[in-house]
Copies of this chain bind each other. A is one copy, B any other.
Amino acid sequence: MTEKAEDKDLLQPVTGETKEAACQVILGTTHASLATISAKNGVPACSRIGLALDSTGMPVFLTSSLSSHSAALEADPRASMLIGEVGNGDPLAHARISISGTVEKVTEASDRDQVRAAYLARHPKAKLYVDFADFGFWRLRPEYAGYVEGFGRAYALTQEDLADMALQMATETAA
């Protein structure tokens, strides 16, 4: 009974508590799985990224321009990010969120500075490679998400819900 965000009948109503819980899933981890569409042959591709949140609470990540997920995103900016730690027992009993949206490159200097600082705060070891010439940051602009708390507890989050969550996470991260 997972990821049924497209099936309205089976979804639970989204409350402030739902959004708060979904924020904690995102704040509680340092990585995500990224689904992209391969630039080469149009097939789906899944890769691991290091995850951080910028000063506005948007997901940001770092890739090498030599990587195939960079090539995929250059060709097609649509992406989905699966976020959530897996504990003991049934992996489907643990909360996770799949955020769909469009990525953009972080290019402007002051924007890069704040994203870099946020990323390094969450990934101190990335200072070894963050400034390599082939590395660059991306931001995901969330459009909708499926949030699954466990069996029979699935929610569809709208762009407005995700904007509320970004604000809340930016505040929590800055505090």
Contact = CB atoms under 8 A, between A and B. Distances in A.
Interface of A: 1-7, 10, 30-31, 33-37, 40, 43-51, 63-64, 66-69, 71, 78-82, 84, 86, 89-93, 96, 98, 100, 123, 125-126, 129, 146, 148, 151
A46 B93 CA distance: 17
Contact of A3 (B35, B69, B82, B96): B69
18 contacts: A3-B68, A4-B67, A30-B91, A33-B46, A33-B82, A35-B44, A35-B45, A36-B44, A43-B100, A44-B100, A46-B80, A46-B81, A48-B82, A48-B91, A48-B92, A50-B90, A89-B125, A90-B125
Given A46-B98, A48-B86, A90-B123, A66 B36 contact: no
Contact of A35 (B5, B64, B67, B80): B80
B98 A45 contact: yes
Given A4-B64, A71-B6, A98 B129 contact: no
A43 B91 contact: no
